C-alpha cells in the first residue's frame, strides 16, 4: 500500500505529463490534431471520444452545488452522443474552463479520475505483483495514456516476465519498450508524448523507487509544499463588481475577470475565459461596447460588469 503522499506524488507525475501542473489543471481544455479522443478536459484530460467526459459532466451536473450545472446541462445529450461538433463550441469550452473555479467540480474530478484511472491501475499493479511507488506510477501513467496491456505483452515477449526479471528490471524494460513504441508511432501526437518515458526513465536512473520527496519532474518541483498548494489557475475572488476592469500592468486576474469573459463568450465574443484580462479581453470588450452603442474604451465599470455577469 502506498502512503497518501506517495499516491499524490504518483498522481502529480502524471498531472505534469497531462497538463504541465503538479496538481493538474482542472480547467484545461485541449484539442490535439489527430487525437481520436477529440475534445479533452480536466485534471487528467478525459475525452469526448471515449465517453468519459460525458460521465464526468453528468456527475457534476447532478450535484446540487454545481455552480455551472445549469449552463452545462443543455450539452449533456450531445456529449452522450459523442457529437464531435462540440470540438468547436467555444462558449462550451469557456464554461468548462470557468468550472475549475468551482470546488464541486474539482472534488468531482478528483473522485472521477480516482475511480476511472487510479483504482484500475492499482488493481493491475496488484495482479502483476508491482509494489514500488514508482512502479505503480508507471502503471498509472499507462492507464491514463492508454495501451498498457499491449506494452505489457510486448515487454513479456521481448524481455521476460516480471517473475523472471524482478520488478525493477521489468519496469525498466517496460519503460524502454513503451518509449520505443511511442517514438516510432504512426501518429504524430503520440510521438510527441515520448517525453513521458524520458521522465520516468530519469526517475529510474536516480533510483527513486520510493518517490521520496522532493522530486523534480520536467522542471516541476514535487514537494510537500507544491502538493498542498492551491491549484494553479483556479480563482475564488475577487467578487464580480468589486472593482472595475481594464487592461493594465500587471494584468488583472481573478474570478471577476473569468465571469466577464464567460459573459462575453455567451454573447459570441471571441475570448478565452482564462481569468486574465489581456489584449484578447480588451478586444472583446471593445467589440461588445461598439455593438451596444457604448464608448469603446475597453474598460468596464461596475454597472457593465453586472450586465455581463448577470
235/15 Cα distance (integer angstroms): 19
C-alpha distances in angstroms, 100 versus 62, 97, 251? 16, 6, 20
Q: How many CA atoms lie within 13 A of 209 on its CB side?
A: 10
pLDDT at res. 35: 83
Q: Is the pLDDT of residue 58 over 90?
A: yes
- Angle of helix 103-113 relative to helix 52-62, nearest 10 degrees, comes to 140
Q: Is the pLDDT of residue 65 over 90?
A: yes
Report, as an integer, the average pLDDT of 162-175.
98
Q: Is the pLDDT of residue 39 over 90?
A: yes
pLDDT at res. 44: 87
Report which of 229, 266, 259 is spatially closest to residue 245, judged by C-alpha positions.
Answer: 259
Q: Which band of pLDDT confidence, cut at 50, 70 and 90, is reported for residue 232?
A: confident
pLDDT at res. 158: 98
82/51 Cα distance (integer angstroms): 7
3-state SS of the chain? CCCHHHHHHHHHHHHHHHHCCCCCCCCCEECCCCCCCCCEECCCCEECCCCHHHHHHHHHHHCCCCCCHHHHHHHHHHHHCCCHHHHHCHHHHHHHHHHCCCHHHHHHHHHHHHHHHHHHHHHHHHHHCCCCHHHHHHHHHHHHHCCHHHHHHHHHHHHCCHHHHCHHHHHHHHHHHHHHHHHCCCCHHHHHHHHHHHHHHHHHHCCCCCCCCCEEECCEEECHHHHCCCCCCCCCCCCCCCCCECCCCCCCECHHHHHHHHHHHHCCCCCCCCCECCHHHHHHHHHHHHHCCCCCCCCECHHHHHHHHC
Which tens digits make up the pLDDT trace of 93-146?
A: 999 999 999 999 999 999 999 999 999 999 999 999 999 999 999 999 999 999
Q: Which band of pLDDT confidence, cut at 50, 70 and 90, is reported for residue 276?
A: very high
What are 276's strand-pairing partners?
Answer: 253
310/306 Cα distance (integer angstroms): 6
Q: Is the pLDDT of residue 239 over 90?
A: yes
Q: Which band of pLDDT confidence, cut at 50, 70 and 90, is reported for residue 74?
A: very high
C-alpha cell at 146: 492508454
Q: Is the pLDDT of residue 34 over 90?
A: no
185/198 Cα distance (integer angstroms): 16
The pair phi, psi for residue 253, each rounded to 5°, is -135, 155
45/246 Cα distance (integer angstroms): 32
pLDDT at res. 36: 86
Report which of 5, 12, 31 is spatially closest to residue 232, judged by C-alpha positions.
Answer: 12
Amino acid at each position: 500500500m502506498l502512503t497518501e503522499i506517495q499516491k499524490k506524488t504518483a498522481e502529480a507525475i502524471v498531472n505534469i505529463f497531462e497538463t504541465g501542473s503538479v496538481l493538474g489543471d482542472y480547467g484545461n481544455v485541449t484539442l490535439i490534431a489527430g487525437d481520436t479522443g477529440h475534445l479533452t478536459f480536466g485534471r487528467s484530460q478525459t475525452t469526448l471520444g471515449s465517453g468519459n467526459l460525458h460521465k464526468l459532466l453528468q456527475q457534476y451536473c447532478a450535484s446540487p452545488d454545481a455552480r455551472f450545472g445549469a449552463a452545462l446541462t443543455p450539452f449533456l445529450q450531445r456529449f452522450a452522443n459523442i457529437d464531435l461538433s462540440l470540438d468547436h463550441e467555444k462558449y462550451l469550452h469557456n464554461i468548462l474552463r470557468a468550472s475549475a473555479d468551482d470546488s464541486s467540480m474539482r472534488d468531482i474530478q478528483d473522485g472521477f479520475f480516482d475511480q476511472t484511472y487510479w483504482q484500475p491501475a492499482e488493481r493491475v499493479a496488484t495482479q502483476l505483483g508491482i509494489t514500488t511507488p514508482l512502479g505503480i506510477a508507471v502503471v498509472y501513467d499507462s492507464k491514463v495514456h492508454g495501451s498498457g496491456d499491449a506494452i505489457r505483452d510486448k515487454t513479456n515477449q521481448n524481455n521476460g516476465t516480471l517473475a523472471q526479471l524482478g520488478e525493477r528490471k521489468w519496469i525498466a524494460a517496460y519503460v524502454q519498450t513503451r518509449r520505443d513504441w511511442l517514438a516510432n508511432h504512426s501518429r504524430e501526437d503520440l510521438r510527441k508524448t515520448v517525453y513521458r518515458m524520458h521522465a520516468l526513465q530519469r526517475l529510474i536512473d536516480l533510483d527513486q523507487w520510493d518517490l521520496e520527496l522532493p522530486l523534480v519532474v520536467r522542471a516541476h518541483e514535487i514537494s510537500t509544499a507544491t502538493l498542498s498548494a492551491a491549484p494553479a489557475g483556479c480563482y475564488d475572488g475577487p467578487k464580480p463588481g468589486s472593482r472595475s476592469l481594464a487592461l493594465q500592468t500587471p494584468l488583472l486576474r481573478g474570478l471577476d475577470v473569468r465571469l466577464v469573459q464567460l459573459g462575453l463568450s455567451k454573447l459570441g465574443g471571441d475570448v478565452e475565459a482564462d481569468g486574465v484580462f489581456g489584449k484578447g479581453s480588451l478586444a472583446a470588450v471593445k467589440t461588445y461596447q461598439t455593438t451596444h452603442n457604448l464608448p469603446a474604451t475597453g474598460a468596464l465599470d461596475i454597472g457593465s460588469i453586472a450586465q455581463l455577469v448577470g
